[in-house]
Amino acid sequence: MADSYLSALNILRETTPLVQCLTNAVVMQFSANVLLAAGASPAMVDTPAESAEFARIANAVLINPGTPSTEQYQGMHNAIAGAQAAGTPWVLDPVAVGGLSQRTEFAAGVVEKHPTAIRGNASEVVALAGLGAGGRGVDATDTVEAALEAAQLLAQRTGAVVAVSGAEDLIVSTERTTWLRSGDPMLQLVIGTGCSLGALVAAYLGATRGTDISAHDAVLAAHAHIGAAGQLAAQRSSSPGSFAVAFIDALYELDFATIATLCSIREA
């Protein structure tokens, strides 16, 4: 398992997967920079007229309804259809689901279309599974441990790898449950770190598609990469502004050996 998830980083950088990001306006530039630094290629193609066509040529697709418009909702529906037609991996990041009715209805509908992975905080995952009401805006009010049942339910229902972010990340698939300890609290003080994690999950899934690396390990690799970068950035900075720059640099500089030393992984 360990060798498998770590080798995903080299595959990512060798293949430079093209990631279509239908994501919120607040984080577009930051997410694009994260993907570039990690070794992927971002494309923010989200219009209804183009999103399905692009999903068929992209290596992976991110669906993140963080700041949705009617047009973007349609673009997301079209992109999912395009991804399904081409067998393109796609990731659902259910931002603030549970707190607002329209996005909750949207996420509840598209999750039944079997995303390759679902990535969110504990309250978002609990709400998406129908076991809770959501958090406080984009902030979780549930613990990661409390989201275990919801993650398992979603994995069984959809076949997706379900990842729950927190002080210790949880990655659940139909056959495995993995806990990852990495990262730094400063990640919570820079907008876009969580949303860019969803983009990087898509990148790793796109890069490893057709290899012997499982979707579970691809999702784990994305979380380890982000977490290790957060730890390095915290060592090099003292405030959120400098942390954001150091975080991008760390994503670029990290190798799999360093990631292994900075992350603690346990299988449950």
Tokens representing residue 211 in the block: 């290899």
Lowest mean pLDDT among 39-43, 75-79, 132-136, 157-161: 132-136
Q: Report the pLDDT value the prediction gives residue 141, as an integer from 0 to 100.
A: 64
HSE-CB of 89 using CA atoms within 13 angstroms: 30
Q: What is the mean pLDDT of residues 54-66?
A: 97
Q: How confident is the model at residue 267 (pLDDT cuts 50, 70, 90)?
A: very high
Q: What is the mean pLDDT of residues 177-186?
A: 96
Q: How confident is the model at residue 257 (pLDDT cuts 50, 70, 90)?
A: very high
Q: Report the pLDDT value the prediction gives residue 251, as an integer from 0 to 100.
A: 98
Ordered by start, the domain boundaries in the chain are 2-263
Q: Is 83's pLDDT higher than 70?
A: yes
Task: Determine whether the annotation assigns residue 56 to a binding site.
Answer: no
Q: Report the pLDDT value the prediction gives residue 101, as an integer from 0 to 100.
A: 87
Task: Determine whether the annotation assigns residue 182 to a binding site.
Answer: no
Residue 169 to residue 192: CA distance in whole angstroms: 17
Task: Determine whether the annotation assigns residue 266 to a binding site.
Answer: no
Q: Report the pLDDT value the prediction gives residue 1, as an integer from 0 to 100.
A: 47
Task: Determine whether the annotation assigns residue 28 to a binding site.
Answer: no
DSSP string computed for 147-184 = GHHHHHHHHHHH--EEEEESSEEEEE-SS-EEEEE---
Q: What is the mean pLDDT of the chain?
A: 94
Residue 85 to residue 53: CA distance in whole angstroms: 10
Tell me what percent of the residues of the chain surpass a pLDDT of 70.
Answer: 95
> What DSSP character marks residue 100?
B
Q: Are 53 and 47 in contact (CB under 8 A)?
A: no
Q: Report the pLDDT value the prediction gives residue 6, as an integer from 0 to 100.
A: 86
Tell me what percent of the residues of the chain surpass a pLDDT of 90.
Answer: 89
Q: Model-level pTM greater than 0.85?
A: yes
Which residues, 6+ apart, have CB-to-CB distance to 216 below 8 Å?
A: 161, 171, 173, 175, 176, 178
* pLDDT digits 0-9 by tens, 215-242: 999 999 999 999 999 999 999 999 999 9
Q: Is 98's pLDDT higher than 70?
A: yes
CATH superfamily of 2-263: Ribokinase (3.40.1190.20)
Q: Which amino acid is at 9?
A: L
Tokens representing residue 216 in the block: 């579970």
* pLDDT digits 0-9 by tens, 118-174: 999 999 999 999 886 654 554 556 789 999 999 999 999 999 999 999 989 999 999
CA 30 to chain centre: 14
- Give the burial string for 86-95 (b: 16+ CB within 10 Å, else e): eebbbbbbbb
Q: What is the mean pLDDT of residues 67-75?
A: 94
Q: Report the pLDDT value the prediction gives residue 15, as an integer from 0 to 100.
A: 97
Q: What is the mean pLDDT of residues 200-209?
A: 98
Q: Report the pLDDT value the prediction gives residue 134, as an integer from 0 to 100.
A: 55
* pLDDT digits 0-9 by tens, 23-37: 999 999 999 999 999
Beta partners for residue 19, in sequence order: 42, 60
Strands 18-22 and 60-63: what pairing? parallel
Q: Report the pLDDT value the prediction gives residue 116, as an integer from 0 to 100.
A: 98
